[in-house]
């Protein structure tokens, strides 16, 4: 692990299309050549990609996950899914999980064409983990390793989803739901207050709200009424399930059952101490980076039964 002081890495914006839909991509290249691999970060339901994965706080070393992984020798990419951030928000759809998996396909099409990448180290968080899992089901040849953080399979044992289902009728009536600073605070307060520093929460909220004042409802509808949307038996790539100790989305027993059914023996299940939701914005974020980097850098097994 690179223990040197964090160094800012210049980012480059890219654009691609999914049919007529414009998608925004953001790249930060490895500070080491040649790169050890390419990391693709996939965001969740209530924020665009750059606030989640490239949060700029000079007083917080490696506040940007992209800069941390670039310093470890990885090319890093994130992208705004349709309906989020800088990507198009014009179609009259609610941008569900399947649509996000389509966006991941379009993003990887572009990266493979422009950078000659064959496969990706994929990390998804919350509904982004569901999109990542669905992408891995559809395109396993593009996924070298898959990390699912704050993942949910059937929804069983999820107090956050139990509360969210009470508003399902509202989500079904609208394509987008409003967000504000109070909502951003609720992400960090609903499970176990104190897991994130207040100043980090405010900077994160600033970054999210600078890009969006509403979010698509599709992932909420899917997670409240359509789970499961992926099948562990169909995910054949090496996979790590990451579960925050206090996360109210990810029911522990639900994840254990999902993990049991993953067919590839190259798999891990990790519980992250002191973490609730939005793990990269938590006080223990460097621990999360270490867990993820260790999984991404793990050598492939030589002997296979």
Alpha-carbon distance of 104 to 146, in angstroms, equals 13
Which helix H or strand E contains 112, and what residues bound it? helix 97-115
pTM: 0.97
* Confidence at residue 166, expressed as pLDDT on a 0 to 100 scale: 97
Alpha-carbon distance of 81 to 95, in angstroms, equals 8
Three-state secondary structure along 135-185? Answer: HHHHCHHHEEEEEEECCCCCCCCCHHHHHHHHHHHHHHHCCEEECCHHHHH
Where are the domains positioned within the chain? 11-296
User: Looking at residues 153-169, what average pLDDT do you find?
Assistant: 96
Query: 267 has which bridge partners?
Result: 239
Query: 25 has which bridge partners?
Result: 14, 79
Q: Note the CATH architecture for domain 11-296.
A: 3-Layer(aba) Sandwich (3.40)
Alpha-carbon distance of 115 to 3, in angstroms, equals 28
Position 8 confidence tier, pLDDT thresholds 50, 70, 90:
confident
| Mean pLDDT, all residues of the chain | 96
Query: What are the tens digits of pLDDT across the range 261-282?
Result: 999 999 999 999 999 999 999 9
- How buried is 84 (Cβ within 10 angstroms: 0-12 exposed, 13-18 middle, 19+ buried)? buried
């Amino acid at each position: 692990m690179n223990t040197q002081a964090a160094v800012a890495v210049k980012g480059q914006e890219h654009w691609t299309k999914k049919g007529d839909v414009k998608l925004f991509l953001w790249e930060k290249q490895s500070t080491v050549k040649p790169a050890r691999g390419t990391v693709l970060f996939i965001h969740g339901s209530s924020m665009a990609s750059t606030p989640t994965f490239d949060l700029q706080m000079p007083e917080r070393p490696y506040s940007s996950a992209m800069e941390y992984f670039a310093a470890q020798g990885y090319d890093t990419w994130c992208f705004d899914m349709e309906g989020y951030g800088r990507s198009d928000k014009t179609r009259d759809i609610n941008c569900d999980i399947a649509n996000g998996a389509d966006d991941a396909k379009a993003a990887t099409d572009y990266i493979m064409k422009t950078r000659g990448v064959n496969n990706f180290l994929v990390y998804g968080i919350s509904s982004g983990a569901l999109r990542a899992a669905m992408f891995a089901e559809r395109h396993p040849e593009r996924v070298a390793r898959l990390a699912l953080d704050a993942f949910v399979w059937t929804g069983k044992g999820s107090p956050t989803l139990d509360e969210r289902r009470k508003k399902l009728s509202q989500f079904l009536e609208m394509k987008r739901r409003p967000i504000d600073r109070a909502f951003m605070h609720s992400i960090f307060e609903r499970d176990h207050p104190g897991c994130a520093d207040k100043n980090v929460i405010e900077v994160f909220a600033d970054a999210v709200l600078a890009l969006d004042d509403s979010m698509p409802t599709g992932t909420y509808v899917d997670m409240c009424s359509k789970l499961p949307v992926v099948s562990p038996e169909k995910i054949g790539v090496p996979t790590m399930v990451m579960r925050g100790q206090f996360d109210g989305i990810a029911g522990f027993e639900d994840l254990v059952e999902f993990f049991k059914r993953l067919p590839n023996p190259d798999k891990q299940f990790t519980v992250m101490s002191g973490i609730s939701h939005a793990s990269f914005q938590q006080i223990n974020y460097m621990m999360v980076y270490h867990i993820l980097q260790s999984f991404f850098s793990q050598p492939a097994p030589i002997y296979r039964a």
